[in-house]
Amino acid sequence: MKIKMPTQKLKEKKAAEKPKEKKNKKKDGKNVLSEKSKFAIVEAYKSARTNIMFSLSATENKAFAVTSYAKGDGKSTVAANLAISFSKMGKKVILIDCDLRRPNLHNILKLENKAGFSDMVGRMVVFDDVVHRDVLPCLDVLTSGTIPPNPSELICSPEVTRFVERLNREYDYIIFDSPPIGVVADALLLKEHIAGYLLVTRERKTTHGDIERLLQNIKLTDSKPLGFIRVGVTHEGKRGRRGYYYYYYYQYY
């Protein structure tokens, strides 16, 4: 005898089977640097790139992570754009999605994410089989992979240490996209592997309290902030009107 399942239960079953993806997928990727990007934005990224290069040269470490205090501040977009900007110099860059809870880099860069970082660290696949080579000249990308039940343990695993050692031999710059520090501590677990954190703040959203807590968390774990990227800065339009432009601004910490 067949038993009919109530609609609600069916919905719950489907949700449990498939992790929730972001709803605004269409918007993802629209802020990625391209030939059509505004001059001011391309230049702002170049200037951020120069400052980051100076910070990294002082530490002799070529890896850094992009993070922020809250969800949706623009971390993944900034990480992708910095990776693009660095690769335009002819330096070999790898961008890795370490947000193993709500990964989005694959949507932003329109890449497949059947397997990636988590599967590789879990030794289910090898790096060479899952890395997206030459997404742009000089730019390789490793997407997050399958959403694991234990993201923090995976990030701490010795496999990650071995992996980062390999990346250091093969790449000029290593950029990690990571989850918000105010929500989970995963980003801080990357500290062993990086020179420091590039912190994203969003105009009209990030509060002074958020920044204080962000810096406190970084200090408590003995990590280093490399600088801030302010996203969504408003500036005067040509005719003196206040425009609402998404703009980037790099500030030394």
Sheet holding 132-136, edge to edge: 132-136, 139-142, 93-97, 173-177, 63-68, 196-202, 225-231, 248-252
Nearer to ligand ATP, 27 or 166 (CB): 27
Q: Is 104 in the site for Mg ion (CB under 5 A)?
A: yes
At 226, give phi and psi (nearest 5°).
Answer: -90, -25
Q: Is 151 in the site for ligand ATP (CB under 6 A)?
A: no
Among 44, 49, 68, 145, binds ligand ATP (CB under 6 A): 68
Q: Is 76 in the site for Mg ion (CB under 5 A)?
A: yes
Structure tokens belonging to residue 35: 């030939």
Angle between helices 39-59 and 75-87 (to 10 degrees): 80
Q: Which residue in 201, 174, 194, 251 sits closest to 67, CA to CA?
A: 201
Name the segment binding ligand ATP (CB under 6 A); options: 4-12, 25-33, 152-160, 234-242.
25-33
Name the segment binding Mg ion (CB under 5 A); options: 72-80, 123-131, 203-211, 236-244.
72-80
Nearer to Mg ion, 9 or 110 (CB): 110
The DSSP bridge partners found for residue 229 are 200, 250
Q: Is 28 in the site for ligand ATP (CB under 6 A)?
A: yes
Q: Is 87 in the site for Mg ion (CB under 5 A)?
A: no
Handedness of CA 213, 216, 221, 223 (dihedral sign): positive
Name the segment binding ligand ATP (CB under 6 A); options: 75-83, 90-98, 204-212, 219-227.
75-83
Among 31, 55, 118, 223, binds ligand ATP (CB under 6 A): 31
Q: Are 117 and 100 in contact (CB under 8 A)?
A: yes
Among 9, 11, 27, 114, binds ligand ATP (CB under 6 A): 27
Among 97, 99, 186, 210, binds ligand ATP (CB under 6 A): 99
Nearer to Mg ion, 62 or 75 (CB): 75
Q: Interaction with ligand ATP in 184-243: which residues (CB under 6 A)?
A: 231-232
**Residue 81 touches which of ligand ATP, Mg ion, none (CB < 5 to 8 A by kind)?**
none
Q: Are 139 and 83 in contact (CB under 8 A)?
A: yes
For 201, the 3-state DSSP assignment is strand
Using CB atoms within 10 Å of the CB of residue 5, give its burial: 0 to 12 exposed, 13 to 18 middle, 19+ buried: exposed
Dihedral-angle region of residue 90 (phi above 0 means left; psi in -120 to 50 means alpha; beta otherwise): left
* Min dist. Cβ of residue 99 to Mg ion (A): 5
Chain residues binding ligand ATP by CB under 6 A are 24, 27-28, 30-31, 68, 71-77, 99, 102, 104, 180, 231-232, 246
Chain residues binding Mg ion by CB under 5 A are 75-76, 104
